[in-house]
């Protein structure tokens, strides 16, 4: 009778194998071939040649660096810090302020990625809103998508994704017993010390979960960057997803592009392992 206990899991297991494990295994196979979109339809096994090509390619190394910059700025620092700050401020704000702030922040989150990208493109472009405000204030303006493209797309990702962090931290802060914060205040802890020694240790698991989910989401951002800069000018905003797309579909190098995708998957797995270990560590 015991094998029958696993019978309800069989449909889910079959679906995971067909639509998750199967495609991943096929992509892993393609990464070790020279498959192309054009030319010969056959794909020859080339071993680790695609991976050797990637690590010797200056454009790949540039994409890795820009991916790390984009992830640190927009996820680890931007969304995480701003989301925690908004959650803390909203706890002390009046109900109308909380409702208005929450609606504005979540509105950016629920927008389709392509819509958010065009809104931020209109904001940062040479004739856009930001420069119009700077000109009105008699401050120097510039073409932000040309001079600081990676910062522009990082800001766009922060603007769009902060609501997720805010919601996680709002739920985590609401679970902190008032007795603990009141005891800290009685002991003379000010606002900064209370945050460092009480609030952050109490929500450390939520911090780890939020960082892991935000980092994985940010590592896979493609549409936002492609719509705003197409990885340019040159390759100054070409992150790994953009580089992978360019190699696989613009240059028809499916095998090479898939190898880059596997390396990106490895980077995401490494971040996940680090966050999970931090979340399980004792305070």
Q: How many domains does the chain have?
A: 1
In-domain check, residue 7:
no
CATH number of the domain bearing residue 266:
1.10.3720.10
In-domain check, residue 170:
yes
Report how far residue 84's alpha carbon sits from residue 164's, in angstroms, rounded to the nearest whole number: 10
In-domain check, residue 134:
yes
In-domain check, residue 156:
yes
In-domain check, residue 255:
yes
State if pTM tops 0.85: yes
Q: Do residues 123 and 153 touch, judged by C-beta distance below 8 A?
A: no
In-domain check, residue 94:
yes
Three-state secondary structure readout of the chain: CHHHHHHHHHHHHHHHHHHHHHHHHHHHHHCCECCCCCCCCCCCECCCHHHHHHHCCHHHHHHHHHHHHHHHHHHHHHHHHHHHHHHHHHHHCCHHHHHHHHHHHHHHHHCCHHHHHHHHHHHHCCCCHHHHHHHHCCCCCCCHHHHCHHHHHHHHHHHHHHHHHHHHHHHHHHCCCHHHHHHHHHCCCCHHHHHHHHHHHHCHHHHHHHHHHHHHHHHCCCHHHHHHCCCCCCCCCCCHHHHHHHHHHHCCCHHHHHHHHHHHHHHHHHHHHHHHHHHHCCC
**Long-range pairs for 98-102: beta carbons < 8 A, 24 or more residues apart:** 102/166
pLDDT in tens, the chain (283 residues): 466 677 777 888 888 888 888 888 888 899 999 888 876 667 788 889 999 999 999 999 999 999 999 999 999 899 999 999 888 888 877 778 778 888 888 888 888 888 999 999 999 998 889 999 999 998 888 889 999 999 999 999 999 889 889 989 988 888 877 777 767 666 666 667 777 777 787 888 888 888 888 998 999 899 999 999 999 888 999 999 999 999 999 998 999 999 999 999 888 888 888 877 776 665 4
Report how far residue 74's alpha carbon sits from residue 145's, in angstroms, rounded to the nearest whole number: 16
In-domain check, residue 243:
yes
Q: Say which residue the tokens 């449909």 belong to.
A: 11
In-domain check, residue 16:
no
The residue range of the domain holding 249 is 24-34+45-280
Q: Do residues 143 and 126 touch, judged by C-beta distance below 8 A?
A: yes
């Amino acid at each position: 009778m015991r094998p029958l206990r696993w019978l309800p899991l069989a449909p889910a297991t079959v679906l995971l194998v067909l639509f998750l494990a199967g495609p991943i295994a096929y992509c892993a196979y393609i990464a070790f071939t020279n498959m192309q979109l054009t030319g010969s339809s056959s794909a020859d096994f080339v071993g680790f040649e695609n991976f050797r090509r990637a690590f010797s390619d200056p454009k790949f190394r540039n994409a890795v660096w820009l991916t790390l910059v984009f992830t640190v700025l927009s996820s680890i620092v931007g969304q995480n810090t701003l989301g925690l700050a908004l959650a803390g401020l909203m706890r002390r704000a009046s109900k109308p302020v909380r409702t208005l702030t929450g609606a504005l922040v979540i509105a950016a989150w629920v927008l389709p990625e392509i819509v958010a990208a065009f809104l931020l493109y209109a904001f940062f472009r040479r004739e856009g809103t930001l420069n119009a405000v700077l000109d009105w204030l008699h401050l120097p303006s510039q073409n932000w998508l040309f001079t600081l493209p990676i910062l522009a797309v990082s800001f766009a990702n922060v603007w769009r994704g902060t609501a997720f962090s805010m919601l996680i931290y709002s739920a985590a802060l609401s679970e902190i017993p008032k007795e603990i914060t009141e005891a800290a205040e009685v002991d003379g802890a000010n606002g900064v010390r209370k945050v460092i020694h009480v609030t952050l240790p109490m929500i450390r698991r939520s911090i780890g979960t939020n960082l892991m989910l935000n980092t994985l989401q940010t590592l896979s951002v493609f549409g936002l960057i492609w719509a705003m800069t197409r990885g340019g000018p040159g390759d100054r905003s070409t992150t790994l997803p953009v580089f992978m797309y360019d190699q696989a579909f613009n240059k028809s190098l499916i095998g090479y592009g898939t190898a880059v995708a596997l390396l990106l998957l490895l980077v995401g797995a490494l971040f996940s392992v680090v966050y999970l270990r931090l979340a399980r560590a004792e305070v």
